Amino acid sequence: MSEVYQRIINDSMDLFMKYGIRSVTMDDVARELGVSKKTLYKHVSNKAQLIDVGVKNMFEKVTLMLKSFSQNTDNAIDELFALDAYFDEMTKQNHPAIMYQLSKHYPNTFKWLNDAKAKFIYETTKTNLEKGLRQELYRKELNISYVSYIYMAHTDLLEDSNVPQEICESADFHKHHMEYHIRGIASEKGLNYLNQKLNTK
């Protein structure tokens, strides 16, 4: 991937995430990036391709970042709080209607993202549960596979339900969702630790 191509992908996604997919045209991308339209179209055929490549590239970056939380956080509950803080920051930076616009105008890319996200949530939840069980923070009778699928389905349902968009994309809403999940799986030791964290925040 050439340096120019990489910059086009990265910087255009910054524009889409900040201003929304619908409001940013290819003319806007060329002007904001300081490249000619000829150069832009030399690297991507159209806006749909630009968004598709950009979404997949961004998803890879985000998943690498999230995996680092698991590797660098010793405590399973702390890991979930770190994930929540990261999503909180992302929510503040992104255009509020970005996912709706993606689903409506670029359904193939949206489907790919949803499928990839579901698989990643399942695998990340499974890894976190295994860690929490080893640390005795989660209840020992948990069925790891079942709970991972439940959390994956629950997360997906929240986005596809009748919950208003402004609530679904609220940082507070996701914090409550995380706490709800932890309280459902935590052992007595885990609940004590969770309550300590909540009381000191």
Q: Residue 151 belongs to a domain with what CATH number?
A: 1.10.357.10
Q: Are 109 and 53 in contact (CB under 8 A)?
A: no
Residue 138's SS3 state is: strand
* 84 or 23, which is more confident: 23
Q: Are 56 and 94 in contact (CB under 8 A)?
A: no
Whether residue 32 is contained in a domain is answered as no
| CA angle, residues 22, 24, 28, in degrees to nearest 5 | 155
pLDDT score of 97 = 77
> pLDDT class for 29, splitting at 50, 70, 90?
very high
| CA angle, residues 173, 177, 179, in degrees to nearest 5 | 115
pTM of the model: 0.83
Lowest mean pLDDT among 85-99, 128-142, 187-201: 85-99
Whether residue 178 is contained in a domain is answered as yes
Domain count within the chain = 1
Angle of helix 188-200 relative to helix 171-185, nearest 10 degrees, comes to 150
> pLDDT class for 172, splitting at 50, 70, 90?
confident
Whether residue 58 is contained in a domain is answered as yes
Average pLDDT over residues 67-89: 87
Amino acid of residue 175 = K
Query: What are the CA-CA distances from residue 135 to residues 49, 132, 194 (Å)?
Result: 45, 5, 14
Residue 142: which domain range?
A: 46-200
Query: Per residue in 31-54, is it b (16+ CB within 10 Å) or e — as a string?
Result: eebebeeeebeebbeebeebbbbb
